[in-house]
Homo-oligomer: A and B are copies of this chain.
Amino acid sequence: MSSIDKLIDIFKKFPTVGPRTARRFVYYLIKLPKNQIDELSRALEELKNNVKLCQLCFNPFEDSGGPSSADLCEICSDLRRNKNLLCIVEKEADLLSIENTKKYNGLYFILGGTLAMMRKEDIDNLRIEPLKERIKTGNFSEIIIALNPTPEGKATSMLIERMLKESFGAAQDLKQSFKITHLAKGIPVGGELEYADEETLESAFEGRK
């Protein structure tokens, strides 16, 4: 296979990229000065060598190795964060969106996905066991399940909540006893009552203040 076709094949697997866009990427690269291709290769190499997943929350972070080498991301190793709050999110981008609000000061756990169906192989793809481990070693007073209110997110929320209750519910002898919370549903900024679905509107009414 030619390197053009090989690259199209690789780019086609990138999220949101179809064959037409993959091809456009390759044409773009062909026209790029060679030193910029080298730059891309070097950045890939660095990514491969320096980026780790945080041992606690699975957030990727950069670590250049050496004596000061770390196992924890910037958030988990930040002493000023509230260690009693854990926010479970689906993916890195959700963590980032929440961080951008600058209103949450607790810790995170990246679940790694949500479930379309309750098949064993799908459940195995989520970081369920690492999550239990994380909670056992932590000291949380509140666990926020911050998954999307989509069908997949809701199903996964229910699964996580059930799992938490089974694993920790009767465990009053454990050091922790946490409450489980969920993000509020409601009308988003810019949204309109007329086009809101009933469940959203109900939540907006119930949560009024």
Q: Which residues of A contact B (CB under 8 A)?
A: 2-4, 6-7, 10, 14-16, 20-21, 23-30, 34, 36-41, 43-48, 50-51, 53, 60, 62, 89-94, 96-98, 100-101, 103-104, 144, 146, 148-150, 181-194, 196-209
Please classify the interface of chain A as helix (H, G, I), strand (E, B), loop, or mixed, using the class held by over half of its residues: helix
Q: Select from chain B the residue with minimum beta-carbon distance to A39.
A: B10
Q: Which of A34, A185, A199 has the most CB of B within 10 A?
A: A185
B26, B29, B40, B188: the one contacting A149 at CB < 8 Å is B188
Q: 9 closest pairs, A vs B, by CB?
A: A186-B186, A184-B207, A3-B46, A184-B186, A183-B204, A2-B62, A188-B200, A181-B208, A94-B193
Asked whether, in the complex, the Cβ of A27 is within 8 Å of the Cβ of B92, the reply is: yes
The docked-state distance in angstroms from the alpha carbon of A89 to that of B27 is 15
Q: Known contacts A14-B25, A40-B10, A104-B205; is A190 also within 8 Å of B197 by CB?
A: yes
* Complex Cα–Cα for A200 and B188 (A): 5
